[in-house]
Amino acid sequence: MKVLAIETSCDETAAAVVSETDDRAKPWRLDSNVIASQANIHREWGGVVPELASRQHLRDVCGVVERALADASATWSDLGAVAVTQGPGLVGSLLVGVAFAKSIAWTYGLPLIPVHHLAGHIESLVLQHGELPMPAAILVVSGGHTSLYFVPEPGRYLLVGRTRDDAAGEAYDKVAKLLGLGYPGGPIIDRLARSGRDTAYPLPLPRMTHADRNAPEAVASGLLPPSVERRVDFSFSGLKTAVQRLVRRLTADGHTLTDGEVADLAASFQRVVIEALLDRTFEAARWLGARSIGIAGGVSANSRLRADAEARGQRLNLPVFVPPLALSTDNAAMIGAAGLRRYRQGTTAGWDLNAMAALPL
């Protein structure tokens, strides 16, 4: 079966065609993957402006879907289903995709499959590499999310940890903004950090313990021993504030940061973020008895995160999987993959399907 997938949860209008294969170990094939990025529109504002995003989705969605079909050499009658991101995301943006997918499914009499955006990021790994050795520990790290899942079998996602405040990608974007580097900040910091010294500035490594005041209820209850169940949460807003204070101190006497200082700041910030992400992911993997680790979402495009994760995995003899760059940041191919998984689990949506900004997985 071929599925047309549509993703409009944030600032990329994306459509893809994904087919099922006969191979259970590598269940899906990518036929086309089209993305219209709005980064140039939002750059001027230093971040995504929701109202501008939904209007731009409206302008782009028809062309993007037509192009996805053409690239796949497919016609409407080749399709067996339509998959769409139902949430989480910006509600105005999601609504464009959901309404569009519904009309196509209605017009051609096709089943409609609702997909959770983070299930999409997780399944981007399977789309590329085939089924991972199970059980797996999978970190989804993007501009909106930093969540760690235990996947005991394909298609079952159990949350074991998540950020208590900012997502890691959000921290990259905010730090880039306060260094005057532009949007989105992740790829810029990634590039600048290569020429910086990562120990130039001591920055605090955020670490959650069971003793934190006002700690929310642990999400990993029952999955991890009580002594460690809270230690897999993340926190990045304190780190961002530490960078902000440091920059203020360095520039207090009217000094303008040199290119070298900016590179050192980028490298020092990045080292701390990546250590926090990988420490927690590898610790959780050990406690959960995971046989593989996956890292997906926009921040998984980061060159140092990929290299460090790979090196740790090799040391521990634990295979580490990341998506190719085109499937790291938001795309519809991953929604097609997760959609086919859900369809085979027996889930379809009715015509009352609605976008949900805070859809739980």
Go through 223-242 and write b for each residue having 16 or more CB atoms within 10 A of its CB, e for each that does not: bbeeebbbbbbbbbeebbeb
Dihedrals phi, psi of 356, to nearest 5 degrees: -130, 115
- Provide the edge-to-edge strand list for the sheet that holds 81-87: 28-37, 12-20, 2-7, 81-87, 112-116
Site string for ligand KG4, 5-24 (x = CB under 6 A): -----x--------------
DSSP string, 304-336: HHHHHHHHHHHHHT--EE---HHHHSS-SHHHH
Q: Candidates 102-110, 156-164, 179-187, 210-218 — which segment interacts with ligand KG4 by CB under 6 A? A: 179-187
Nearest distance, CB of residue 307 and Zn ion, angstroms: 22
Phi, psi of 112 (to 5 degrees): -110, 130
Nearer to ligand KG4, 34 or 223 (CB): 34
Report the residue number, 190 or 229, with the smaller CB distance to ligand KG4.
190
Number of residues that bind ligand KG4 (CB under 6 A): 19
Does 186 bind ligand KG4 (CB under 6 A)? Our answer is yes
How far is 237 from 58, CA to CA, in rounded Å? 34
Contact letters (x/-) for ligand KG4, 293-332, by CB under 6 A?
Answer: ----xxx-xx--------------------------xx--
User: Token match 């067996």: residue?
Assistant: 80
What's the angle, vertex CA 136, arms to CA 277 and CA 87, rounded to 5?
70
Give the SS3 label for residue 275. helix
Q: Minimum distance between the CB of residue 128 and ligand KG4, rounded to whole angstroms?
A: 15
Looking at the Cβ atoms of 8 and 19, the one nearer to ligand KG4 is: 8
Task: Rank residues 38 and 302 by Cβ distance to ligand KG4 and give the closer one.
Answer: 302
Applying CB under 5 A, the residues found at the interface with Zn ion are 142, 330
The minimum distance between CB 354 and ligand KG4, in angstroms, equals: 20
Write out the residues near ligand KG4 by the rule CB under 6 A.
10, 142-144, 169, 172-173, 184-187, 190, 297-299, 301-302, 329-330
